[in-house]
Chain A
Amino acid sequence: MTAADSVSSADSVRGAGPATAADSVRVTGARHVAPPAAGSAALAAAQLTWLHLRSRQVPAALVTLAGCGVVLWAALRYHWWLGSGPAAAELPMLIEGCAAAIIAVTTHSPFGEPERATGRWLPFLRLSMVLALCGAAIGLLALGAAVAYHPQAGVYLASGILGVAENVMGFAGVGLIFSLVTGGLIAWTGPLAFVAVCQFALIAHYSEPLTWAARPATDRGGWIAALVVFAVGLAVFTLRGPRVRPSGE
């Protein structure tokens, strides 16, 4: 290719003839990305969501949450711990705490700070992910309890689905708050410590609303406390995201 050929090619791109003001407008307009069609926008959104979920290892988290449901089923079915009264709530509470710990760990992003400069969708993705995981955790635990349900044999979840929902959301709220302090990967310590406190409250018959898991699932004060913790955790996590530590963890 000669220099003359190059000039000729360039001209064919710009259009033949000398440049005009109209050409300038045309070139500037060409730099804008054409608005995508509705279908491709949805595809892009789905792809973005999928990438976000994969980067947080959400598929593995769902498998682990399903494992929690299986453990709850086995604990009920094989009478690992039934007890009566408050004692009946100990093991389910621990499994609900595990589910919340999984949700808390899922908040960790492998990309750290650079991801925060990528656009305005990140808070929405965080919010959606946590809500979806909480819903999945409640559903999978309820499924485990439902499969094991056998009231004639005394096999049932004493606190019912209400207790599962209250505890998973409240403990997850604690985990989200912890993720702001410790980072996502160590945020499991929050739900775990809180479950330990609730277990002691349960055994010792302490009854503060903040230890809602030690109160009946229908207790209004316990629900208010759990939902406030969840709402605060979710709001702050949505806006700020988990702490990014210098080690990347």
Chain B
Amino acid sequence: MTAVVARDAPPVRRRPSPLLARIVRMEIRHSAFVWAVPLLAVLFIYDPFRTAAAYPGVWTVRASAVLNKFWPDCMPFAAGFAAWAGSREGRRQVGDLLGTTARPAWTRQLCSLAGTLAWVLAAYLAGTAALYIKTATVATWGGPPLWPVVVGVVALTAVCAFAFTLGALFPGRFIAPIVAVGLFVVTLVAFRQAVNGSGGPVGILSPDGAVPPNDAGVFYPVAPDVSIVQVMFFAGAALGAIGLLGLSPRTGGVGWRGALDAASGGGARLRTLATAVFAVGVALAVAGFSLAGTATGSTFTGLKIPLLHDSASGQPLRYTPVCGGSASFPVCLHPAFQSNLSQVVKSFALVMPEVAGLPGAPVRAAEVPDQVLPAVVAAGTGNGVVAGTPPVYEFTLDNAIGLQPDQTQLDGFEQDIVHAVIVGPIGAMVPMQGGGDAFQPDTGTPAQQAVVNGLLKAIGSQPYPAGGPGDNPDAQQVKQQARITAAAARFAALPLATLHAWLAANLAALKAGHLTLAQIP
């Protein structure tokens, strides 16, 4: 009869156990991470939010604060509290008591890890959302990049899993600060490698790195190669740590013996699962580390991983420039920098009337990607070059808009244009004996220097930076520099109309180097 009933009964469909959800909810409610939330809020306002708010309103640049500033804030607290949660059973010496429960230790520990992780990710995502909302109010082009969010989430998950496992392996009251500071030290060392650009895999895998140039992701998309490799590595690390948690007897796991034998007794299914998770994790982490070692520089899209690189991602992004200025001298920018247009136009407004109509003077200005400018621009102190027929001033805003706002940085445009009209190119790259190229500036003749600096002074700009005598000038150089300065002051004192007329009459001779300081009015 019983057998008949059993046969006739509908098959039992196992639904996801609400018990696990209840345990996770309980872990979230009792998590000690709540103590870190106010501290994280203070840290978030103190650095990531304040720093990002001062950056140009470009999505890629501001989003870099998520990984460069906020991620390092969250990481030590995530590590410390995960280690604290992981060490709980060992610290309270309740392993034997909990060994009698129906569920395996792994399930229990994963619920505890999930409780801490939920807090960590909630804090991280809340901070990221605040940064992105603030950016959305100022950005004029593009949208929020998602890779920094994904990388941060996966990396924090890995940190939590790793720290939790360490806490379970070595329970004690000191494990939380030791793990927190230990991982902080590792992050700092990896950050150093990332910033130094040593090219090693550790620097590539560090979520925390250098601030990108202002026009990153503006003219060309940012290649996701490095982010993919970081996600691979950290996902692998997380799975490896979780697998280790399920296998190690020290953490109440099923043990290593017979790990590769699915038919062995004593939690065979659990052992197989834990072993598979561990193996997949280690494989992913090793693959991510190896791929990171193959990273090479890409001209337009940053670092690329050859095996993952999609050549189509190197295509320029379409955009309609925003233009301002006068009809005689239009100034065009990428729409991402629309908010800077008036500043940039203003910086040209004083210099252009003085050089307009002179041979070599630009007829318009256009922002271009940093990478298409000649190497001398990056090597020197300029923001762009005057090139083409008719001449166009092509410039980048990478240096002109500082990460900390400074109006004098826009003086570089005036210096570039005046130097191009009076002297010519700012310099050249010359091969060095030991290999590579070095920038050799062309500051012009003393008369040219005097006219350049005099004209700049007349329009209220800074003198051209490369015109000084160096750090250790000899007496002759000092005397010569004094004469140049005096001539520049004399030239600057002329009325602007006289100055323009003199330039129109004498520019050819001046540019050819036929004029001396004494001939400067």
Residues in A lying within 8 Å of B, measured CB to CB: 57, 60-61, 64, 67, 71, 75, 80-81, 83, 90-91, 94-95, 97-98, 101-102, 105, 108, 182, 185-186, 188-189, 192-193, 196-197, 200, 204
Contacts and interface: CB of A to CB of B under 8 A. Distances in A.
Interface string B23-65: 0000000001001100100110011000100000000000000
A231 B35 CA distance: 24
Interface stretch (B73-81, B224-232, B365-373): B73-81
A192 B174 contact: no
B174 A80 contact: no
A192 to B, nearest CB: 6
B178 interface: yes
A80 B182 CA distance: 13
A57 B172 CA distance: 10
A192 B76 contact: yes
A227 B84 CA distance: 30
A81 B188 contact: yes
B189 interface: yes
Contacts of A97: 181
B35 A98 contact: no
B77 A90 contact: no
B71 to A, nearest CB: 12
A189 B80 contact: yes
Contacts of A91: 185, 188
Contact of A196 (B35, B73, B173): B73
A200 B46 contact: yes
B51 A57 contact: no
Q: Is the interface of B mostly helix, strand, loop or mixed?
A: helix
Contacts of B73: 196
A204 B192 contact: no
Nearest to B72: A196
A95 to B, nearest CB: 7
Lowest 4 CB-CB distances: which A-B pairs, in order? A188-B177, A101-B177, A98-B181, A193-B39
Contacts of A67: 178
Contacts of B291: none
A204 B51 CA distance: 9
B190 to A, nearest CB: 11
Contact of A105 (B47, B173, B188): B173
A204 B180 CA distance: 23
B181 A192 contact: yes
Interface residues of B, number: 28
A67 B177 CA distance: 13
Interface of B: 32, 35-36, 39, 42-43, 46-47, 51, 72-73, 76-77, 80, 84, 172-174, 176-178, 180-181, 184-185, 188-189, 192
Contacts of B46: 197, 200
B184 A94 contact: yes
Nearest to A182: B35
A61 B35 contact: no
Contact of A192 (B42, B80, B84, B189): B80
11 contacts: A81-B192, A98-B177, A98-B178, A101-B177, A101-B180, A102-B177, A105-B174, A186-B32, A188-B80, A189-B35, A192-B80
Contacts of A81: 188-189, 192
A189 B39 contact: yes
A197 to B, nearest CB: 6
A94 B184 CA distance: 8
B217 to A, nearest CB: 24
A193 B36 CA distance: 9
A98 B192 CA distance: 20
Contacts of B76: 192, 196
A133 to B, nearest CB: 12
A94 B181 contact: yes
Given A60-B172, A64-B174, A102-B174, A189 B36 contact: yes
B43 to A, nearest CB: 6
Given A81-B192, A200-B46, A101 B181 contact: yes
Given A188-B80, A197-B42, A204-B47, 5 more contacts: A57-B174, A94-B185, A192-B181, A196-B72, A197-B47
Nearest to B47: A200
B177 A192 contact: yes
A145 to B, nearest CB: 16
Nearest to A108: B173
A193 B42 contact: yes
Contact of B77 (A60, A75, A189): A189
B185 A71 contact: yes
A204 B184 CA distance: 19
A174 to B, nearest CB: 11
